[in-house]
Amino acid sequence: MSDIGITLVLVAALFLILGSGVWIGLTLTGVAWIGMQLFSSRPAGDAMAVTIWGSSSSWTLTALPLFVWMGEILFRTRLSHDMFRGLAPWMQALPGRLLHVNVVGCAIFAAVSGSSAATCATIGKMSLPELKARGYPDGISIGSLAGAGTLGLLIPPSIIMIVYGVTAEVSIAQLFIAGVLPGIMLAALFSGYLMVWAWRNPGLVPPADKAMSLGEKLRESRHLIPVVLLIVAVLGSIYTGIATATEAAAVGVVGALVISAAQGSLNWQTFKESLLGGTRLYCMIALILAGAAFLTLSMGYIGLPRHLAEWIATLGLSKFELLFVLMVFYIILGCFLDGISMVVLTMGVILPTVQKAGIDPLWFGIFIVLVVEMAQITPPVGFNLFVLQGMTQRDIGWIAKVTLPFFFLMIAAVGLIYLVPEIVTFLPQQMRR
For the whole model, what pTM was predicted? Answer: 0.72
Residue 139 lies in a domain: yes
CA dist 407 → 80, 370, 384, 403 (Å) = 27, 10, 12, 7
Of 396, 417, 405, the C-alpha closest to 96 is 405
Please name the helix (run of DSSP H) or strand (run of DSSP E) that holds residue 314, with its range, or none. none
Q: What percent of the chain stands above pLDDT 70?
A: 89
- For residue 433, pLDDT over 70 is answered with no
Per-residue pLDDT reduced to its tens digit, 410-428: 999 999 999 999 999 888 8
What is the mean predicted confidence (pLDDT) over 220-227? 80
pLDDT value at residue 363? 93
More confident residue, 235 or 279: 279
Q: What percent of the chain stands above pLDDT 90?
A: 12
Alpha-carbon torsion 119, 124, 130, 134, what sign?
A: positive
Distance from C-alpha of 100 to C-alpha of 377, rounded to nearest angstrom: 19
* Alpha carbons within 13 A on the beta-carbon side of 179: 32
Q: DSSP class of residue 242? A: S
Per-residue pLDDT reduced to its tens digit, 271-306: 998 899 888 878 877 787 788 778 778 877 887 767
Total Cβ atoms within 10 A of residue 152: 33
pLDDT value at residue 112? 65
Q: DSSP class of residue 377? A: T
- For residue 174, pLDDT over 70 is answered with yes
150 lies in which domain range?
Answer: 60-282
Per-residue pLDDT reduced to its tens digit, 362-398: 999 999 999 988 877 877 667 778 788 877 778 888 8
User: Is 295:37 a contact under the CB 8 Å cutoff?
Assistant: no
3-state secondary structure 29-54: HHHHHHHHHHHCCCCHHHHHHHHHHH
Residue 35 lies in a domain: no
Reported as a pLDDT band with limits 50, 70 and 90, residue 239 is low
- For residue 113, pLDDT over 70 is answered with no
- For residue 336, pLDDT over 90 is answered with no
* Mean pLDDT score across all residues of the chain: 81
pLDDT value at residue 114? 62
More confident residue, 333 or 139: 139
Distance from C-alpha of 409 to C-alpha of 425, rounded to nearest angstrom: 21
pLDDT value at residue 81? 65
More confident residue, 149 or 317: 149
* Conformation bin of residue 389: beta by default, left when phi > 0, alpha when psi is -120 to 50: alpha
What is the mean predicted confidence (pLDDT) over 327-354? 75
Residue 291 lies in a domain: no
Residue 411 lies in a domain: no
Reported as a pLDDT band with limits 50, 70 and 90, residue 196 is very high
Number of domains in the chain: 1
Residue 86 lies in a domain: yes
Per-residue pLDDT reduced to its tens digit, 301-310: 887 767 766 7
- For residue 60, pLDDT over 70 is answered with no
Residue 227 lies in a domain: yes
pLDDT value at residue 12? 83
Residue 80 lies in a domain: yes
Longest Cα separation, the chain: 71
